[in-house]
A and B are shown apart, each in its own frame.
Chain A
């Protein structure tokens, strides 16, 4: 939605044709002699060396996986090894021009990319800088291990090469001296000081994460390009298409202003080895025939798509030079189809039943290393002996590295016996960082001139009085707005995007007023691409920014499943604390809209380790929790209930206009009582209060109502204290009862407060059905009467009460048996 853009019926309805321009395929046709004007002899030989390093590194792993030894060193490596033997030229060619400001993101098959990019950066980086990185990284532990095999005359670059190979291998072998202390492993190794960002074991997972990093570069005007290294198989993944589409949004050129106008500096680099595991992408599982064709469908520039011969390192370098220029001219994104081939299987367990021996042999005849070697010899750039010498010295070096990487003294594993929290301490970074960068914040208006701010000024911030008009009341949506609005004037890296957040102000008017305050590059509408919205947020945060992403309905969480559960939740711990994830994901829980727009799925993220999950139910808590979320460095899933966006403050004397925080993880007593505790999550608080009123008036029972406010983390002390007093607890929320997070809480309370309980903790959730139409919701979502019935039947008989529901054991067993 952008009023500036006129949808002209005359234009749209006019008859014409869409024209495509030709997509180049393997257009590079220079000889190595011709390239001597662009490359020094040393450079050309170094390209050979880098390919040899990758080849030998991967063959070493293959040998260990299949024979249990390498050059006489015996080792059992039980983990994954997705090798790229055969693809070396494509990795080295890509990395050749890149420096540490250029970020690459990879896949499960990215050992070669780590090494190629690392070697390229080492070549360009001054010695002092290399030394500093090696000394600082993980407190110098990797450097200390490498020094076991370095001589006193080893120079900084040679040492850095050893460091790179060793850090990668130790990571693959799950050693504490690996780049991620062994918490990443083969498929997730990376090294950010060299611009090598997370490799991703979820196929296509890097596409939108890389896009987020590219947005970070663009929005924060940081130098460098971003490359998403994904395979041809990933074109079967929705998030990859979402990323291609979102990276090509028209607004970058049409609506973003000034120096922010123009394309995103990203290359979607498909290493096209023709197989997604065993599925043949061209001809069997997909229809693009030539992958580069896909670019033509994405935008008018056809993503500057091109097929490149990935078996010729010089062809790849040539293409990269060309594409990096396009990015520098703000004409991205770019799609590259780099054709290549893996000689080894998908993994060592792969017997290649899906391809013929002839095919493998035919490609081996084209082996890039052998061919490039012949070219070097033929052009008299290097002699056969010289190149053999390189091969031998790489092998010698690698043997030394393997020896120390399998040595438990030099390369120990994390000792979870002596430090049981070794992994636990990386689950959250738990830092307080007010702003992720120190520079002025770009805004369009002084805060006080903002129309929303003026509107809020006229609202009543104090505790709601009987009969007070909702329009004049400071509402929950105002609390969320105020925290976010304030933060935009503090943290210059903060951006927010989602569906219909600009102009519309969000589907539920939380963001009204932000459009007036913020330029496009800080507040923009995303395509309807939940996966890419979350995933690009992950990349933006990983690269160093702070971001609020938004899912319009909780029900759309499924659309962003991998992105929330595998990406957002995990990268802090998988990086052993080297990456931070200051991303707040606003998720609005629907009501009135039936089965696919009214589900409370708070349980899903609460189950996944690595996410903080909050669900405020009052304006005071909403503002305070949002402030905490935006001050921290951890991913926070921020649930909001559409049922209570216009709720005023009923508990605190007022909602302060100034900054304050509500700590994440602390429940809050909303009403004191002594006979029974009711613990609520989200909007159900208000129904529980109604139940508490009835309990007091009709049955003389005094209920203590506690609002959980947060699901993860959660401080049980307050609840346990309450249960010690009352001896009874009912838990209630709008989530379907079966498997709801309340069950987890109830079980924990049973365990921690067993001897304080007069009755089992009882959960009242929504029915285990689809959410019906609004008119039938009272039969689906927990009602005050349900809570009273459950208390009467299962916790404490209420004098004179008779239940309307059948809560007998027999019926319960029957319901469970029926899967309801």
Chain B
């Protein structure tokens, strides 16, 4: 039975994706789990495995095409099976095909089902999913929206979820291209985007960086204590960076102009702190957002950040999480950087660089004492914020971090 392969919908806001690579040729045999194609949104890139085995009967799109999500891009089945019913171009004039992508609500083509039924389900643009499939999806932590439906009446059923889950650990199997002496690489859409944004940020934004450091004795002591925790709560996984994010999230609401987006000359001040966390991945820099960070406990924040970082590494982060930040924390401290001038993630107004810990000396009660000092670099958009404002933010932030246990009690 011919099974349509659709362009997955990655996140609610994504309407179309670029098909970046085909890993199988038409007519080639595909095993369920084989890497089938790659695609990317404007925020992240993905590899897709085949959910079913069979012959790749037809590919409806080529590399580089922009494809509306949920559109059938190929069909897998048995040799000789007719694929025409799945062809999304069917009925479209040849010329139109080139320019106008099919509408976003392009129907999900499914296994043969009575036409009337199919239309009814599609008209509302809904994905039908069985209760069992929902349950299994929740258990396996996969998104049923990505599953190719094979049930009656175009319903996503549990086996579709199992197929989807089986195809998930995709990235590990991604093929590595041989490195030639040199190669000319068209920057990925994502790299291009990063580049454009960074350039814009650097050239358009009058930015100022303030450097400071604070006594990290207390957070290091806490970290040591947490690390020794034997429970399965995740306490042992809380990092110094998590603590900095925590303190930032508590400090930001008092500095609304730093918890803001500056768009077309207007300041959008946010009620809650949605803290972006810069992650270095193979694909480049990704900044998932810890939404409502100021309302989450240290443990909750830590777990969520850890999970998002992993998803960034795995390439399966929901693109909805790659936007919406109000302030960013970026950490180069683990790489030994003592201070730097991070680039603001527009349209945000500030970014905090977290640096390495150095031993410093300070005078206390007439004596010089050694203490571990963690460096912080705050870059802000001078259009939004004045220098003294940024300095006061840093001052309060460092005070919070030096008395971190008190902050936890608030």
Q: Which residues of A contact B (CB under 8 A)?
A: 727, 754-759, 792-797, 799-800, 807-810
Contact = CB atoms under 8 A, between A and B. Distances in A.
B130 A727 contact: yes
Contact of B152 (A795, A799, A800): A795
A794 B157 contact: no
Contacts of A794: 152-153
Contacts of B112: 797
A786 to B, nearest CB: 15
B382 interface: no
B120 A755 contact: no
Given A793-B114, A808-B114, 13 more contacts: A727-B130, A755-B131, A756-B132, A758-B133, A759-B151, A759-B155, A793-B113, A794-B153, A797-B111, A797-B112, A797-B152, A799-B1, A807-B114
A487 to B, nearest CB: 46
Contacts of B134: 755
Nearest to A750: B131
20 contacts: A727-B130, A727-B157, A757-B130, A758-B132, A758-B133, A758-B151, A758-B158, A759-B130, A759-B151, A759-B152, A759-B157, A793-B114, A794-B153, A797-B112, A797-B150, A799-B1, A807-B114, A808-B114, A809-B117, A809-B120
Contacts of B153: 794
A755 B152 contact: no
Main secondary structure of the interface of B (DSSP, over half): helix
A462 B205 CA distance: 91
A402 B111 CA distance: 75
B116 interface: yes
B77 to A, nearest CB: 10
Contacts of A810: 116
B135 interface: yes
A243 B234 CA distance: 80
A800 B82 CA distance: 13
- Which of A757, A759, A793, A797 gathers most chain B CB within 10 Å? A797
Interface in B79-110: none
Nearest to B155: A759
Interface in B375-406: none
Contacts of A759: 130, 151-152, 155, 157
Nearest to B2: A799
Interface of B: 1, 111-114, 116-117, 120, 130-135, 150-153, 155, 157-159
Nearest to A796: B152
Nearest to B114: A808
Contact of B135 (A755, A792, A797): A755
A794 B130 CA distance: 12
Contact of A757 (B113, B114, B116, B132): B132
A799 B1 CA distance: 6
A675 to B, nearest CB: 10
Contacts of B155: 758-759
B360 to A, nearest CB: 58
Contact of B131 (A757, A792, A807): A757
A133 B1 CA distance: 77
A755 B159 CA distance: 14
A816 to B, nearest CB: 16
Contacts of B157: 727, 758-759, 796
Which 4 A-B pairs give the minimum distances between C-beta atoms? A758-B157, A758-B130, A799-B1, A755-B135
A756 B157 CA distance: 10
Nearest to A795: B152
Nearest to B138: A755
Contacts of A756: 131-132, 135
B283 to A, nearest CB: 36
A808 B116 contact: yes
B239 to A, nearest CB: 37
A759 B111 CA distance: 15
Nearest to B150: A797
Contacts of A797: 1, 111-113, 150-152
A727 B132 contact: yes
Contacts of B116: 808-810
A800 B111 CA distance: 11
B24 to A, nearest CB: 23
A759 to B, nearest CB: 6
Contacts of A754: 131
Contacts of A727: 130, 132, 157-158
- Between B132, B133, B135, B151, the greatest number of chain A beta carbons within 10 A of the residue's beta carbon is seen for B132
Contacts of B120: 809
Nearest to A724: B132
Contacts of A796: 151-152, 157
Contacts of A795: 152
A627 B309 CA distance: 67
A800 B112 CA distance: 9
Residue with the greatest number of chain A CB neighbours at <10 A, chosen from B120, B130, B133, B134: B130
Contacts of B159: 758
Contacts of A793: 113-114, 152
Contacts of A799: 1
Nearest to B153: A794
Contacts of A808: 114, 116-117
A792 B112 CA distance: 10
Interface centre among A758, A793, A795, A800 (most CB of B within 10 A): A758
A758 B111 CA distance: 16
A106 to B, nearest CB: 54
B206 to A, nearest CB: 56
A253 to B, nearest CB: 67
Contacts of B135: 755-756
Contacts of B113: 793, 797
A727 B159 CA distance: 10
B162 to A, nearest CB: 11
Contacts of A755: 131-132, 134-135
Contacts of A807: 114
A662 to B, nearest CB: 32
A766 B154 CA distance: 27
A486 B158 CA distance: 51
A792 B152 contact: yes
